[in-house]
């Protein structure tokens, strides 16, 4: 049924087919909203196991998003039919207008992916990274720099409206415009920003989360009371500890520690988060972080 697809099938961005590399939380979410809004989606990961996990996550989330449809299963199937799951970059990039890389935050892995993609993608294909913490320019590394930018979604992707479009010094206006247009077509509100650490949201949000952890460590208040305070006193949907558990403490630690290395004047370490990570407590994704799930 056409009803499950919210937008008209217009592709003013020039982007009808999108390849997403990485079927984790972010990649699956980006694939989901793209397919939901009529894009031809190819989701790439290394193993069948990863792809199956991504597929299950998309189906589960679509069931929630489409729960008011008369025939939920049919509406979900309609969106799923627009997603191809594959481990072949060559197959995934055939006729693709946009590549969104959404693998874990390792610069060398990301650069390798774009190096491989460069062999298979059409010349016109735009390359974008969903990095949260790395410099977009360092990931680009000279690969089609005018047609390379950041396209940063927020977790959970189906719920959060924002997309940061990151322009490096070399990203062309036409590329930034197409990325903005694409974000709008998949139901999001884009903003444009420069390639600075944390872009806009994380540059402001991460120091706030770190301050909350420091506050608890000093014994100023309990984590429960800090969470309650920010929800009821500042209108946040989640308190800082609840949010850290959603982001994933492993991911938070990776982000923070990479900034401590590259921008130590601006960002401090958070040993309490590192300790939880070394104890294997990653947050909601594995059942325990600051809280138990
Ligand atoms: N998929 C589909 N639907 C979802 C969903 C998902 N993953 N999560 C929530 N929903 C929808 C459902 O309709 C759900 O209703 P059902 O449970 O009946 O399905 C409804 O939202 C309400 O959800 P909840 O009752 O679970 O909780 P909520 O009202 O608090 O909303 C939330 C959940 C949208 C996540 C909200 O709490 C929120 O916005 N939290 C803050 C998230 C945030 O700040 N994220 C940014 C993280 S930083 C980041 O991503 C950047 C980075 O680089 C690290």
Ligand 1 in reach of 247 Cβ (< 6 A): yes
Ligand 1 in reach of 132 Cβ (< 6 A): yes
Q: How far lies 9's CA from each of 3, 34, 151, 157, in Å?
A: 12, 11, 21, 20
- Residue tagged active-site, from 152, 185, 242, 258: 152
**If you take atom 27 of ligand 1, which residue's CA is the nearest one?**
237
Q: List pLDDT tens digits, range 34-54.
A: 999 999 999 999 999 999 999
- Catalytic, 164? Answer yes
- Residue tagged active-site, from 164, 185, 242, 258: 164
Sheet harboring 17-21: ordered strands across?
A: 83-86, 40-44, 17-21, 98-101, 126-129, 148-152, 162-167, 189-194
> Measured from the CA of 132, which atom of ligand 1 is nearest?
53
DSSP run (H or E) holding 279: none
Compute how many other C-beta atoms are within 10 angstroms of the C-beta atom of residue 142.
Answer: 10
- Give the confidence band of 1 by pLDDT, cuts at 50, 70, 90: very low
Domains of the chain and any CATH numbers: 2-194 (3.40.50.720), 202-283 (1.10.1040.10)
Handedness of CA 241, 247, 253, 255 (dihedral sign): negative
Q: How far does the centroid of ligand 1 lie from the alpha carbon of residue 156, in Å?
A: 6
- Catalytic, 132? Answer yes
Please tell me the predicted confidence (pLDDT) of residue 130: 98
Predicted confidence (pLDDT) at residue 204 exceeds the cutoff of 90? yes
DSSP-derived secondary structure letter, 292: B
Name the percent of the chain lying above pLDDT 70: 97
Compute how many other C-beta atoms are within 10 angstroms of the C-beta atom of residue 81.
Answer: 9
- Catalytic, 152? Answer yes
The radius of gyration of the chain's CA atoms, rounded to the nearest angstrom, is 19
Average pLDDT of the chain to the nearest whole number: 95
Write out the two tokens for 186. Answer: 């998949």
CA–CA separation, 235 and 247 (whole Å)? 19
Contact partners, residue 71, CB within 8 Å, separation at least 6 = 1
Compute how many other C-beta atoms are within 10 angstroms of the C-beta atom of residue 148.
Answer: 26
**If you take atom 36 of ligand 1, which residue's CA is the nearest one?**
237
CA–CA separation, 25 and 285 (whole Å)? 10
Q: How far does the centroid of ligand 1 lie from the alpha carbon of residue 244, in Å?
A: 13
Strand partners, 288: 283, 292
- Catalytic, 202? Answer yes
Binding-site residues from annotation for CoA: 61, 68, 132
Contact partners, residue 222, CB within 8 Å, separation at least 6 = 216
Q: How far does the centroid of ligand 1 lie from the alpha carbon of residue 237, in Å?
A: 9
Predicted TM-score of the model (pTM):
0.93
Please tell me the predicted confidence (pLDDT) of residue 52: 98
Q: How far does the centroid of ligand 1 lie from the alpha carbon of residue 159, in Å?
A: 6
């Amino acid at each position: 049924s056409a009803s499950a697809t919210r937008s008209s099938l217009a592709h003013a961005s020039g982007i009808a087919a999108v390849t997403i590399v990485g079927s984790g939380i972010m990649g699956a979410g980006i694939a989901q909203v793209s397919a939901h809004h009529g894009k031809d989606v190819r989701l790439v990961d290394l193993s069948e196991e990863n792809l199956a996990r991504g597929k299950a996550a998309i189906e589960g989330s679509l069931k929630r998003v489409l729960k008011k449809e008369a025939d939920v299963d049919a509406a979900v199937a309609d969106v799923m039919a627009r997603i191809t799951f594959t481990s072949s970059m060559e197959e995934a990039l055939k006729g693709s207008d946009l590549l969104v890389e959404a693998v874990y935050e390792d610069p060398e892995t990301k650069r390798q992916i774009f190096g491989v993609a460069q062999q298979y993608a059409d010349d016109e294909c735009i390359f974008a990274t969903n990095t949260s913490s790395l410099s977009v320019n360092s990931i680009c590394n000279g690969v089609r720099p005018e047609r390379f930018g950041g396209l940063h979604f927020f977790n959970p992707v189906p719920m959060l409206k924002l997309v940061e479009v990151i322009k490096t010094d070399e990203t062309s206006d036409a590329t930034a415009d197409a990325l903005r247009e694409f974000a709008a077509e998949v139901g999001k509100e884009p903003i444009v920003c420069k390639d600075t650490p944390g872009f806009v949201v994380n540059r402001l949000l991460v120091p706030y989360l770190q301050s909350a952890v420091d506050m608890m460590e000093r014994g100023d208040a309990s984590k429960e009371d800090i969470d309650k305070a920010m929800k009821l006193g500042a209108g946040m949907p989640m308190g800082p500890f609840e949010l850290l558990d959603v982001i994933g403490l492993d991911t938070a630690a990776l982000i923070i520690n990479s900034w401590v290395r590259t921008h130590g004047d601006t960002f401090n370490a958070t040993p309490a988060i590192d300790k939880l990570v070394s104890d294997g407590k990653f947050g909601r994704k594995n059942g325990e972080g600051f809280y138990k799930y």
